[in-house]
Structure 1
Amino acid sequence: MSEPTGVIHDIGYQRYTGPRLGRRQVFGALYLHGLRTAFGLGRSAKAKIFPWLVVAIVTVVAAGVTAVRSQIGEVVMTYAQFADNMSWLVIFFAAVVAPELVSRDLRSGVLPLYFSRPMPRSDYPMAKLLAMITALWLLLGAPQLVMFLGAAFTTGDGMNGVWKELLDLLPGLLYAGLWAAVFASIGLLVASLTGKRAFAAGGVVAVFLMTTPIVGTLSIMPSQTLNELAGLASPSTLVQGVGAWSLGDLLITGDAAEATHSLIGDFGPVYAVAAVLLIAGCVTLLLARYRKVATR
């Protein structure tokens, strides 16, 4: 009779007997994790430095604008203007956040674990995209709320003044949502192409900054039509063109408003359609990218 060659030890593992959550809970968990990652929550102190530095900057600017308005009694920056003026910060925020959301998973090779669960392949990129859109919208929208509260408490028209401020705030929040959707869709698509965060961050910044000289070149061409369509060449000026067409005096007031409208002429609807097509195209390519990743 042969001697036993091994021993089975009972180390206390038990089968899971609790409720098994479905697709909605998986999607929600990915979305919440992505949103927390965008602001460095649940991560090291080093990961929190840049996101919260940007949050501090935009909040201080909003508080400063509110304080100046309360002192001089005039609007120095509209809600929609705030989104335009802070867009340069959003570029760098997106360049840091997008690689954190997707490039890390590509580099560490954990995607097969995600797709081993009964989760549609589109849920992973869509959850990450919605998380990034939410983070960027909060970055631009929360300071606008600070400006609104300051204006509401200092208005001299009572509830009528508060209502007027609210009517000005809502288009500003929608405009911030457009900025967020454009920046997030482009940033996440670029970041999904590489697992190296430095390359992904550089690529995101390059897309936004290197297209700006193209706009400058087209805007000085002898053709007026080409000048008015020049803003289509860059994501930032594309969004600004949509804002100039749709928001009007809520974006810029006085002579500057007429100058801005003259830059896009009668092509406002073209800018709006181009923005929608840009977002839809980026989302389509992002989904296609993860269908390819999932089959590896």
Structure 2
Amino acid sequence: MSEPTGVIHDIGYQRYTGPRLGRGHVFGALYLHGVRTAFGLGRSAKAKIFPWLIVAVLTVVAAGATAVRAQFGQVVMTYAQFADAMAWLVIFFVAVAAPELVSRDLRSGVLPLYFSRPLPRGDYALAKLTALVTALWLLLGGPQLLMFLGAAFSTGNGMRGVWDELLDLLPGLLYAGLWAVVFASIGLLVASLTGKRAFAAGGIVAVFLMTTPIVGVLSVLPSRTVNELAFLASPSTLVNGVGVWALRDWLAPEAGDGMQIGRWGPLYAVAAALLVAGCVTLLLLRYRKVAAR
């Protein structure tokens, strides 16, 4: 009878005996990682260049507007107007950040690892979406806060002036949140369709920029109703329309001179809500399909 040749080695594997943090902790960790990824934090210096370049541009614009107001007492732009003026930069930020959040995971094939844990498929998509919304809101809201601090310290009306300035800031932050929600919903949905970041970035830019000429064509047709509804055709002008309707006092009365939406303001708000709801629904369906593979 031959001697046994098998050997059992103890390589130190042990069962995990610590606390089971559960679904909420997984969602929170994924969300925090997503916010950091959007700004290139924890990644190479190359990944930080573009997002922080955009942050720098927005900060310089806000600082310039604050300096002019402090020096000459002239309001260059309101907080809500700042969000409108800088929205075109947000498009390019989304085009870079959204593929980093989802396209990399698709291309590298790590989704089965995510879904092998107690993480529902929808939680992954919602965590990424919430992270992108937060990043975009910080992108627009941070410079607005800088403008507020400059105005608050330069006001000559004491605490009353600071309070009035705060009442102007809050609608601006809400408006920035609207930009963030709409742009993040569209951008992440487009990015989730491909694992190639270059294709995803190009698709996001195309969705936002190629719809603008449609608005131009509809706005010159010989129909006042069509002209007033033309801005529904592009995500950017759709958000502008909601702002003109809901925040006219903060966008300044003249803000509606270039965008006449007539009595259709509530329709713009409903259209924005339906657009976000539709994008989120399609995003959840997309990840149900991806996870089933």
- The interval holding the TM-score normalised by the smaller chain is over 0.9
Unaligned runs of 5+ in 2: none
Moved more, 161-170 or 6-15: 6-15
In percent, how many aligned pairs have the same letter? 81
Moved more, 156-165 or 12-21: 12-21
Once the two structures are TM-superposed, the CA of residue 163 in structure 1 deviates from its matched residue by 0.6
**1:170 maps onto 2:167 in alignment:** no
Q: Distance in 2 between matches of 1:20 and 1:248?
A: 50
Q: Distance in 1 between matches of 2:204 and 2:153?
A: 40
Aligned to 2:291: 294
Is the 8 Å Cα contact of residues 244 and 260 (structure 1) preserved in structure 2? no
Q: Distance in 2 between matches of 1:178 and 1:6?
A: 65
What TM-score do you get using the length of structure 2 for normalisation? 0.98
Aligned to 1:153: 153
- How many pairs are equivalent? 293
Once the two structures are TM-superposed, the CA of residue 260 in structure 1 deviates from its matched residue by 4.2
Aligned to 1:259: 257
Unaligned runs of 5+ in 1: none
Is the 8 Å Cα contact of residues 70 and 154 (structure 2) preserved in structure 1? yes
Q: Distance in 2 between matches of 1:264 and 1:2?
A: 92
Aligned to 2:39: 39
Q: Which amino acid in structure 2 is aligned with residue 291 of structure 1?
A: R
Once the two structures are TM-superposed, the CA of residue 117 in structure 1 deviates from its matched residue by 1.4
Q: Distance in 2 between matches of 1:18 and 1:257?
A: 58
Q: Distance in 2 between matches of 1:222 and 1:6?
A: 88
Aligned to 1:279: 276
Is the 8 Å Cα contact of residues 238 and 275 (structure 1) preserved in structure 2? yes
Partner deviation per Cα, 1:66-120 (whole Å, 9 max, x = no partner): 0011111021100000001110100000000000000000001110111111222
- Secondary structure of 1:66's counterpart equals helix
- Secondary structure of 1:11's counterpart equals coil
Is the 8 Å Cα contact of residues 34 and 132 (structure 2) preserved in structure 1? yes
Is the 8 Å Cα contact of residues 219 and 226 (structure 2) preserved in structure 1? yes
Is the 8 Å Cα contact of residues 95 and 201 (structure 1) preserved in structure 2? yes
Q: Distance in 2 between matches of 1:154 and 1:104?
A: 46
Matches within 5 A, 1:9-158: 9-158=9-158
Matches within 5 A, 1:228-239: 228-239=228-239
Q: Which amino acid in structure 1 is aligned with residue 288 of structure 2?
A: R
Is the 8 Å Cα contact of residues 249 and 257 (structure 1) preserved in structure 2? no
Is the 8 Å Cα contact of residues 148 and 166 (structure 2) preserved in structure 1? yes
Is the 8 Å Cα contact of residues 40 and 47 (structure 1) preserved in structure 2? yes
What TM-score do you get using the length of structure 1 for normalisation? 0.97
Superposed CA RMSD in Å reads: 1.0
